[in-house]
């Protein structure tokens, strides 16, 4: 396991971090044992979000005793200062700490969101103040929208940027990662398995390890998964022609089937929350169907408003058949609701 400095910060972290979503579906004792196994195996960066239900609480319980040996990263999805402060205080309480190493503005994808967080009384003002108070060490940002992510990097306001990165979604390696390096920012790669579409960890990490300053954040839901990933990272990395061909096969097969959450398709004239609803299948597999029906209730109910006008399809750069996928996801959501009764 290598350790990497995050840009110009003084945070040095394991080259592979711990993504906090999948522990949502684990009971607390199991989640704690998975987190501890990761820590004992050399993983030192733990990334979660206030929105990931009890993930922060589980991290706090598992790592409270080794707080000074780990880097804790979380995110706030709240856009106004008052709400962001409340959420930060909650994160501190849940993670049993008096400081967050890296607090990120969560999923800034649209200009409107950027306008809200940066206006007086916006969330960014609150995070800057919290940093001065010592409650946050560094401020970062996450996005699924490439153009917006590049813009956010170039503001010079953030210490890190987190964006999807895997061999199917590799667009970030060009302009975004280059700009982040120029601005001295740490680069965090979310979705190393393309939201579950890549089912071969070996090949996924072969690609990612070629990008040595990108710290990737796979989710872990078992001790075996931790052991598997740590084992991979302890081996030398060799990418063969056969590996490249396999990656290309995945790209050909899956590249046009899944949603990157870039939000170019929005807004929907009927108010369908397209991006969140397009993610339902992945959310259900990562959080558990029982949690997902509650977590995704508002976006999934909005799917019933779809008139199949197809406007969104024209705006999707990947040409996804959005209304058809929404229908499939809505059917799955209804099934999960029925099963949970």
Quick check: 340 binds ligand SF4 (CB under 6 A)? no
Binding residue (CB under 6 A) for ligand SF4 from 66, 82, 178, 309: 309
Quick check: 149 binds ligand SF4 (CB under 6 A)? no
**Nearer Cβ to ligand SF4, position 100 or 300?**
300
- Measuring CA to CA, which residue among 36, 37, 62, 58 is closest to residue 48? 58
Quick check: 265 binds ligand SF4 (CB under 6 A)? yes
Binding residue (CB under 6 A) for ligand SF4 from 64, 310, 324, 328: 310
Quick check: 203 binds ligand SF4 (CB under 6 A)? no
Stretch that binds ligand SF4, among 122-130, 175-183, 223-231, 302-310 (CB under 6 A): 302-310
Stretch that binds ligand SF4, among 36-44, 63-71, 215-223, 264-272 (CB under 6 A): 264-272
Stretch that binds ligand SF4, among 120-128, 204-212, 243-251, 254-262 (CB under 6 A): 254-262
**Nearer Cβ to ligand SF4, position 156 or 319?**
319
d(CA 68, CA 244): 40
**Chain center to CA of 17:** 12
Quick check: 306 binds ligand SF4 (CB under 6 A)? yes
d(CA 322, CA 271): 14
C-alpha distances out from residue 204 to 5, 139, 167, 233, Å: 22, 28, 7, 12
d(CA 48, CA 261): 18
Q: Report the Cα–Cα distance between both ends of the chain, in Å, rounded.
A: 45
d(CA 197, CA 54): 25
**Nearer Cβ to ligand SF4, position 1 or 298?**
298
Closest CB 20 distance from ligand SF4, rounded Å = 22
Around Cβ 294, how many Cβ atoms within 10 Å? 11
d(CA 280, CA 30): 24
Both tokens assigned to 311: 């406007």
Rule CB under 6 A: which of 317-336 touch ligand SF4?
Answer: 318, 320, 322-323
Rule CB under 6 A: which of 14-53 touch ligand SF4?
Answer: none
Quick check: 101 binds ligand SF4 (CB under 6 A)? no
Strands 214-216 and 186-190: parallel
Quick check: 270 binds ligand SF4 (CB under 6 A)? yes
- Packing angle of the helix pair 322-339, 280-287 (nearest 10 deg): 30
Quick check: 275 binds ligand SF4 (CB under 6 A)? yes
Binding residues for ligand SF4, rule: CB under 6 A, are 259-265, 268-270, 272, 274-275, 278, 306-312, 316, 318, 320, 322-323
């Amino acid at each position: 396991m290598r350790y990497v400095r995050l840009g110009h910060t003084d945070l040095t972290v394991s080259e592979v971090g711990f993504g906090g979503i999948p522990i949502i579906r684990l009971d607390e004792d199991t989640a704690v044992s998975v987190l501890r196994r990761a820590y004992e195996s050399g993983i030192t960066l733990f990334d979660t979000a206030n929105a990931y239900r009890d993930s922060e609480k589980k991290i706090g319980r598992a790592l409270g005793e080794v707080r000074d040996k780990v880097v804790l990263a979380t995110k706030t999805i709240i856009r106004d200062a008052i709400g962001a402060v409340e959420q930060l205080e909650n994160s501190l309480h849940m993670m049993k700490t008096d400081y967050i190493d890296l607090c990120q503005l969560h999923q800034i994808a649209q200009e409107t969101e950027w306008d809200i967080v940066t206006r007086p009384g916006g969330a960014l003002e609150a995070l800057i103040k919290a940093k001065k108070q010592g409650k946050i060490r560094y401020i970062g940002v996450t996005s699924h929208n490439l153009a917006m992510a590049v813009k956010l990097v170039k503001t010079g306001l953030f210490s890190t940027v987190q964006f999807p990165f895997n061999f199917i979604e590799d667009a970030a390696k060009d302009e975004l990662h280059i700009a982040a390096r120029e601005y001295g920012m740490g680069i965090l790669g979310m979705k190393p398995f393309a939201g579950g579409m890549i089912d071969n960890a070996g090949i996924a990490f072969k690609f990612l390890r070629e990008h040595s300053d990108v710290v990737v954040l796979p989710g872990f839901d078992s001790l075996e998964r931790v052991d598997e990933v740590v084992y991979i990272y302890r081996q030398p990395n060799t990418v063969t022609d056969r590996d490249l061909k396999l990656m290309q096969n995945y790209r050909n097969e899956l590249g046009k089937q899944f949603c990157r959450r870039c939000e170019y398709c929005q807004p929907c004239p009927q108010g369908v929350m397209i991006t969140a609803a397009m993610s339902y299948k992945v959310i259900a597999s990562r959080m558990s169907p029982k949690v997902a029906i509650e977590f995704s209730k508002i976006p999934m109910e909005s799917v019933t408003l779809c008139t199949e006008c197809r406007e969104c399809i024209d705006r999707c750069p990947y040409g996804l058949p959005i209304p058809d996928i929404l229908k499939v996801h809505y059917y799955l959501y209804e099934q999960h609701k029925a099963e949970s009764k």
